[in-house]
Each structure stands twice: as structure tokens, then as C-alpha cells.
């Protein structure tokens, strides 16, 4: 159990926020549905009940295997699988059938129970990530710990992504946070394993490997070995995909840019062939600056700064310079929570992040309409959920849809720059010394370090 929960002075408020967060989660779980939630479980039911690996869209296979295992483990709380997962689902004609299949699912008598059960693995991963964050901020002031925990319990994007939209972002998030904790606890090789498993849940942690490798261990050869270990689970999954389904899966999807094109969305035109991809340039520059710090390219060795700050910066650039669906923004939340506890002087962090959340959800509503926000409550009242007002219809009527979405994207970029500015200043100038740490915890950490 994280140290703050063992502290009598902090336990009460933390448990209070936990109670509020659980109440909101349990209220959302049975009454919201999305096509994405049903799609991943439909693919996973083939593994769980039919013993086969689907031949198309072999991505995030670690997450699919977890979903399949949860279907078997939680089967006692679910209806007969032949009742829920009917063939051919909507894969034969997704444009025509998805709404029909989702409506049939939502209006069935077993929908609330099934939706609640399907989201239980997400709840476990989400709460696990919260406990790991408490362990990461255990040496901070109680006020900062409380703010970080409250944000995690009531994060608008976390609640939306995990319980309203029903996506498995928490699977990757909990493993990324675990990898960070293991690095800080001086268990770098286990951190590589955790990050490697995270990559099998979601492909995006591949972008984090260079940052982790450069700061988790010292020396180019050890850093290369760390990166290789982190990528190994992903390579094993691709090998198994090839053997079981005849395709490597994830890389095949990236080749046709249907998955990776979001990271190439922001470009600078170039006369002639080719163009400059803004996020790619940002990522390469980030890796290069960090490598230069670590390897002493500019003279004597200079402290590169904390790993979590570099991850905050990389995630901020990832979302500011790419297009993305709203539920992906949950990846950013752990680093905001860490900043609230560890850098109380960054007073704009929370309001700027909340404004980011508003803009992200507004963009989702403007692009997706009812199916991405209010329409998620279809199991409560199917007709009402799809007839409520939404930004998409409002903007289409006004004829200003493209301009409005452009303004929202521009606002998000500006908010991201403002949010990350103190982190960039710290990495440039050096981190301030810690102002406070509980004596008992400091002594405990010293004993662990010397043990």
C-alpha cells in the first residue's frame, strides 16, 4: 500500500476522494456504450471462445488477450456468449450495421449488467495506476498528494475514456506509470519489461522507449540493451501474429498509415517532393537534446533532469502536434498529476489541463456528434441520447464547422505550450531542490537505497 494511505493524517481525505471517484465510475459503467468497446470485445471473444486469432486488424494484441482472459474469468457475470457476440457482427458492412448492432445491444435486458462487467478490467487498471501514482508522490507535501489523487479520481478525460467511451487506455497507462516507478526505485530492467508489455497494449509507448532508455541506465551499450528488452515483447507479439494469422499485424497497419497518420498530420510544405512532419521533427529533436545531455555532446556532463518531466514534455508535444481521438488524451493525465504534487509552483498546471480537456471533448463532439458524447448513454434512453444537441449538427447548420474545429485545435496547441512552458524552463535551467519531504519517508528511502 502506498505510504500516503498508511499515514493517518492523509488517509481520510484520500479515501474520501476515492469514494467520490468510485461512485462516479460505478454510476457510468452500466449505462454507457460505444462501438469501440463492443468491437474490441467482439474480436477478443474469438480468442476466448473460438480459440482463433482474427486475421484482420491485429493491433494491440496484448490488450486483446487481456480482454479475452477477462471474458473467461468474468463469464459467471455475463450472458451466454452466443447471445451477446453474434456473427457476422458489423464487420461485413460496418457503415450500415454498426449503429444497428449497437442499438440491439443497448436495448437488451442484459445490457447494464454486461456493460458493467466488461468495464471491470478497466476499473482495476485505472485504480492500479492511481495507487502507483500515490507511490510516486509519497515524498511530496500532503496538499500536493491530495491534488494529484483528486485529479486522478475525477479526471474528466480519464472518466470519459475509461467509463463513458469504454476504451482500454488504462491498460497501457498503468504499465507506463509502473515503468516510471521502477526506474525511480532503481529497478531499470524490470521497468523495461513493464514498458515492453505496455507497447503490446498500445503502440504509442514505442515513442517513450528512447527517453526511458537514456535515463534509466548509463552508457550507450546498456541503453541499447534496455531499449532492446523494452521492444522484445512487441517483437514476440508480431512473431506470434505471423505464425497464427499470417501477418505481423501492427506494422502492417502502420505501413498503410491508417494507424500512424495522426502523427504525420501537422506538416510544413516543401517545394518539390516530400514535406516536413512537425511531430516527427519535435520527437527527434527531443531525443537528440536528451542524448546530448546524457552523453555530454556539449562539453562536460550536465544533469539531464527528471525522467517524468521529459515524459511530460514528450506527451505534450505528441498531443499538440498530432490529431487524436479524445480517449487517447488519458495518456497525458498521469504526468499532470505528478506535476501537481511535485511542482506546486507550476500553478497554472491544473486550470490549463482542465481547459485542454474541455477543448478535446469539444473537438470530439464537433467531429463525431452524438456517438462520441451524449449518445454514449444510449442504454439509458436510446431515442433521447441520439436526439440531444451536439456541436457537430450545430456547426453543420451554421456552415462554420471547419473554421470552428480549426479554432479549437489552435486553442489546444496554445494551451499545451502554456502548460509545458515551466517544464521546458526547468529542463533548460535545472530542477529546483525539493522543498519538503517527510523525515520518516526520507529515512525509509535511504534504508531502501542502501539495502
| Count of beta carbons in the 10 Å neighbourhood of residue 6 | 10
Q: Are 257 and 323 in contact (CB under 8 A)?
A: no
For residues 81-99, give the mean pLDDT: 73
Q: For residue 303, what pLDDT is reported?
A: 79
Residue 83 has pLDDT above 60, yes or no: yes
Looking at every residue in the chain, the average pLDDT score rounds to 87
> What is the DSSP-derived secondary structure letter of residue 125?
H
Question: How would residue 257 be classed by pLDDT, with cut points 50, 70 and 90?
Answer: very low
Separation CA 419–CA 316 (nearest Å): 8
pLDDT digits (tens, 9 = 90+) for 102-138: 888 899 999 999 999 999 999 999 999 999 999 999 9
Which is it for strands 267-269 and 275-277: parallel, antiparallel or unpaired? antiparallel
Query: Please, which residues have CB within 8 angstroms of residue 89's CB and are 6 or more apart in sequence?
Result: 42, 97, 101
> What is the DSSP-derived secondary structure letter of residue 277?
E
Query: Which backbone phi and psi does 248 adopt, to 5 degrees?
Result: -75, -15
Q: Please tell me the total number of residues recorded for the chain in this structure.
A: 451
Which residue's entry shows cell 479475452?
68
- 291, three cell numbers: 542524448
Q: For residue 133, what pLDDT is reported?
A: 97
CA triple 287-292-298, angle to 5 deg: 155
Q: Are 138 and 298 in contact (CB under 8 A)?
A: no
> What is the DSSP-derived secondary structure letter of residue 435?
-
Separation CA 436–CA 422 (nearest Å): 20
pLDDT digits (tens, 9 = 90+) for 383-413: 776 777 777 777 766 667 788 889 999 999 9
For residues 406-423, give the mean pLDDT: 96
Residue 76 has pLDDT above 90, yes or no: yes
pLDDT digits (tens, 9 = 90+) for 304-346: 889 999 999 999 999 999 998 899 999 999 999 999 999 999 9
Separation CA 424–CA 429 (nearest Å): 9
Q: Minimal CA–CA distance to 361: which of 122, 152, 160?
A: 160
For residues 153-166, give the mean pLDDT: 96
Separation CA 355–CA 177 (nearest Å): 24
Query: Please, which residues have CB within 8 angstroms of residue 426's CB and are 6 or more apart in sequence?
Result: 305, 309, 343, 432
Query: Please, which residues have CB within 8 angstroms of residue 307's CB and are 6 or more apart in sequence?
Result: 180, 183, 184, 211, 212, 215, 216
pLDDT digits (tens, 9 = 90+) for 282-306: 999 999 999 999 998 877 667 788 9
Amino acid at each position: 500500500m502506498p505510504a500516503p494511505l498508511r499515514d493517518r493524517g492523509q488517509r481520510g481525505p484520500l479515501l474520501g476522494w476515492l469514494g467520490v471517484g468510485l461512485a462516479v465510475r460505478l454510476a457510468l459503467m452500466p449505462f454507457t456504450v460505444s462501438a469501440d468497446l463492443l468491437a474490441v470485445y467482439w474480436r477478443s471473444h474469438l480468442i476466448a471462445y473460438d480459440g482463433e486469432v482474427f486475421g484482420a486488424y491485429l493491433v494491440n494484441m496484448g490488450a486483446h488477450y487481456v480482454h479475452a482472459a477477462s471474458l473467461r474469468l468474468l463469464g459467471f457475470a455475463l450472458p451466454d456468449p452466443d447471445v451477446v457476440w453474434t456473427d457476422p457482427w458489423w464487420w461485413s458492412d460496418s457503415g450500415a450495421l454498426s449503429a444497428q448492432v449497437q442499438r440491439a445491444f443497448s436495448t437488451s435486458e442484459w445490457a447494464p449488467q454486461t456493460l458493467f462487467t466488461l468495464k471491470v478490467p478497466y476499473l482495476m487498471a485505472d485504480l492500479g495506476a492511481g495507487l502507483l501514482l500515490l507511490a510516486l508522490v509519497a515524498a511530496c507535501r500532503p496538499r500536493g498528494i491530495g491534488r494529484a489523487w483528486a485529479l486522478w479520481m475525477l479526471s474528466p478525460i480519464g472518466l470519459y475514456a475509461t467509463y463513458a467511451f469504454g476504451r482500454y487506455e488504462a491498460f497501457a497507462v498503468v504499465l507506463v506509470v509502473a515503468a516510471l516507478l521502477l526506474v525511480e526505485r532503481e529497478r531499470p530492467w524490470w521497468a523495461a519489461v513493464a514498458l515492453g508489455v505496455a507497447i503490446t497494449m498500445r503502440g504509442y509507448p514505442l515513442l517513450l522507449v528512447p527517453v526511458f532508455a537514456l535515463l534509466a541506465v548509463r552508457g550507450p551499450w546498456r541503453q541499447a540493451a534496455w531499449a532492446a528488452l523494452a521492444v522484445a515483447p512487441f517483437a514476440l507479439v508480431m512473431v506470434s501474429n505471423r505464425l497464427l494469422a499470417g501477418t505481423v499485424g501492427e506494422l502492417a497497419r502502420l505501413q498503410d498509415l491508417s494507424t500512424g497518420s495522426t502523427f504525420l498530420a501537422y506538416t510544413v510544405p516543401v517545394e518539390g517532393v516530400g514535406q516536413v512532419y512537425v511531430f516527427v521533427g519535435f520527437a527527434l529533436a527531443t531525443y537528440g537534446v536528451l542524448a546530448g545531455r546524457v552523453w555530454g555532446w556539449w562539453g562536460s556532463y550536465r544533469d539531464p533532469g527528471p525522467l517524468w518531466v521529459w515524459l511530460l514534455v514528450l506527451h505534450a508535444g505528441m498531443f499538440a502536434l498530432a490529431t487524436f481521438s479524445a480517449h487517447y488524451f488519458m495518456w497525458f493525465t498521469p504526468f499532470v498529476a505528478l506535476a501537481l504534487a511535485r511542482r506546486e509552483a507550476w500553478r497554472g498546471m491544473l486550470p490549463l489541463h482542465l481547459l485542454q480537456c474541455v477543448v478535446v471533448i469539444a473537438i470530439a463532439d464537433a467531429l463525431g456528434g452524438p456517438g462520441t458524447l451524449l449518445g454514449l448513454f444510449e442504454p439509458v434512453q436510446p431515442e433521447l441520447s441520439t436526439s440531444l444537441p451536439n456541436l457537430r449538427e450545430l456547426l453543420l447548420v451554421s456552415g462554420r464547422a471547419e473554421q470552428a474545429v480549426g479554432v479549437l485545435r489552435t486553442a489546444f496547441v496554445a494551451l499545451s505550450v502554456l502548460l509545458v512552458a515551466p517544464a521546458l524552463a526547468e529542463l533548460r535551467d535545472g530542477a529546483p531542490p525539493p522543498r519538503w519531504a517527510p523525515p520518516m519517508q526520507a529515512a525509509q528511502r535511504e534504508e531502501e537505497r542502501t539495502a
